[in-house]
Amino acid sequence: MPNVLVCIKRVPGSAGQIELTPDQQSVDTRHVGYTVSPHEECAVEAAVQVVETHGGAATVLTLGPADAIEQLREALAIGVGGAVHIEADNEAFGPADVAAAIAEVARARSEAGDGFDLLLFGTDAADTGDFQVGIRVAYALGLPVVTGVRTFQLDGDRVVATGDGPEGTEIFEVPLPAVLTVKEGGITPRYPSIPGRLKAKRAPVELIEPPAAPSGTGRVRLSLPPEQPSAVEILGTGPDAAKAVVDLLVRIGVVAQ
Amino acid sequence: MILVLVEPAGSETSPLSLEALTFARELADPLGVPVHAVCVGPPASLADLAAHGVAEVHQADDPRLDRYAAAAWAACVLQAAQGASPAVVMAAASPRGNEIMAHVAARTGLRMAANVVRAQAGPGGGLSVHRQVMGGAALEEVRLDGDGGGNGSGPALFTMAGHAVDAEPAPESTGPQVRTFTPVLAEADLVGQVVRTEPVAATDSDLATARVVVGGGRGVGGAEQFGDLLELVDLLGGALGVSRVVTSLGWRPHHEQVGQTGSRITPEVYIACGISGAIQHWAGCSSAKTIIAINTDADAPMVTKAHYAVIGDLHEIVPAINAELRARLAGS
């Protein structure tokens, strides 16, 4: 029965305007909440569905500060069975560092005879958007990797995955164990139930010491793109503006004169 | 030398790859180094590469490359660079570009920066880049080599965000040498190969390339309320794009989503109806040449950032636009 690992990242919510800390090293999160990257929410859902269909076990992992336990508990609440928390200041960890730490956990599990068959990631994190952690983990463990996966199914000792290619839907088939990075769109995350939330509160979380001396991100500083002053031209109010809109579309050249 | 992965788009060169070549040239010229291209299989258009100033094309040829496999593509990129010690290896930040460059980074252990909008060679050969983070809401300056970069003597690896520059032909076109090579591929490089491709319905794939996109957001009001917008799409021969909330609510399918986790669109005109304009949506639509917002709220970010706006109820305004278009089309 499949043993599934799903890796998530605690990221600042960014629905509104973001602000930076005075040292320009971080996003100022005093006025925004935290969440899990959307692609990873789908990966968590996928992990739960695999266990519902095939049995086995799902474990959620994050590398992040003490508060990242909130995001682990969200995954536990929708049905992931176990949680691993590599407690560390993730901003000091570049994608290669994060991947090395995850690979170490996976290797230790393998050596204990409890290796993961399927390792799920999001394609890229909503904050740093590096597109690398899953791929780097795959190389560290010598496993095949498919990225941008919309849907997948386990088929015996293989996984069949689909994703969007430039010429249509691409189908991949790789042997297990394998790494998949999931992209939002094919799998709809469920909402946690009340009993799920209660259970998640009490679920044990395995704490792991971070590896020593990450190589870092190379970040010099963050900046905000210059605010463009609004230059909007109001064409009108209500349906009376329709003629002005169509005149504009003719001028732009998308409607024939 | 700066090495650029050039991707095809159907039978042509990907427009994003042409942008990447322009970006590479602007970086290479002050350094006095040439731009080389790497292609898997023959380039879609050698003339494009010549026009964009490519000095040499490294073409990987192998029957095992008939079907896409990211690891194998990455092997080709690295073997094209072999012996030429490039200062930079880059691609456009397309899904494939990001994937292949991440494989290159994993294979070499080098740092890689995704979604770069600006690159600057520092003194002593270091390279610092600015890249989009937080879905484009912030920029991160990153050192890619030299002190504190962690890349040692290896090349700087990055992908260029779409539309970081406009694709511009070089002042003088080149007659690029084409060097074909047979890459050394391990079995493991082909395991993640595409088994088969299922073409999607034409309407599903139009969004990224449509000249006109009509956008619908929460303001549309419900799954049954898209009729006016779809008629406008029809009249303009465009595509429908929607905000994330619309797909989250199940009003429209996900493949129509525009934004950070959906499609990034580049139409001549984007008509955003009932869309407030959250940063994640803006990340997907900001490259539209002209943006027209239709919204009840004159202070909505979509309105203030748009080029043109109409204030009011989209369910009154869009039918009026449709009627005007029908009248003109009938009269012409």
pLDDT at B193: 97
Task: Determine the distance from the C-alpha atom of residue A49 to the mean position of all C-alpha atoms in its chain, rounded to a whole number.
Answer: 17
* Cα dihedral A202→A205→A207→A208 (10° resolution): 180
Question: Is the distance from CB of A41 to CB of A183 less than 8 angstroms?
Answer: no
- Sequential pLDDT tens for chain B (332 residues): 999 999 998 899 998 999 999 999 999 999 899 999 999 999 999 999 999 999 999 999 999 999 999 999 999 999 998 878 899 999 999 999 999 999 999 999 999 999 999 999 876 667 999 999 988 889 999 998 644 344 456 899 999 998 889 899 999 999 999 999 999 999 999 999 999 999 876 555 578 778 999 999 999 999 999 999 999 999 999 999 999 999 989 999 988 999 888 888 888 999 999 999 988 898 889 889 999 999 999 999 999 999 999 999 999 999 999 999 999 988 76
CATH 3.40.50.1220 residue ranges in chain B? 202-331
pLDDT value for A32: 83
Q: Residues spanned by CATH 3.40.50.620 within chain B?
A: 2-190
The rounded mean pLDDT for chain B is 91
Asked whether residue A230 carries a pLDDT value surpassing 70, the answer given is yes
Region A3-208: CATH code? 3.40.50.620
* Mean of pLDDT over chain A: 94
DSSP readout, B131-187? EEEGGGTEEEEEE-SSTTTS-TTSPEEEEEPTTSS-----SS----EEEEE-----G
Contact across the interface for A255 and B321, Cβ inside 8 Å: no
Average pLDDT over residues A225-245: 91
Q: Is the pLDDT confidence value at A43 over 80?
A: yes
Instruction: Report the CATH fold assignment for B202-331.
Output: Rossmann fold (3.40.50)
- Residue of B73, B94, B129, B141 to mutate when probing chain A, most A C-beta within 10 A: B141
Residue B124: the pLDDT is 66
Question: What is the rounded average pLDDT of the residues A169-198?
Answer: 95
* B130 sits in which H/E element: strand B127-133
Q: What is the ipTM of this complex?
A: 0.94
**Nearest CB to B134; choose among A127, A144, A183:** A127
The CA distance from A254 to B54, in Å, is 34
Q: What is the CATH number of domain B2-190?
A: 3.40.50.620
Q: Which residues pair with B39 in a beta bridge?
A: B59
Domain ranges of chain A: 3-208
Q: What is the pLDDT of residues A52-76, one digit of tens each?
A: 999 999 999 999 999 999 999 999 9
Q: Among residues 157-216 of chain A, which lie with CB inside 8 Å of chain B?
A: 164-175, 183-186, 215-216
Interface of B with A in 302-331 (CB under 8 A): 303-313, 316-317, 319-321, 323-325, 328
Contacts of B249 (CB under 8 A, 6+ apart): B218, B223
Alpha-carbon distance B172 to nearest alpha carbon in chain A (angstroms): 31
Rounded to the nearest 10°, the torsion over CA B103, B104, B110, B116 is -90
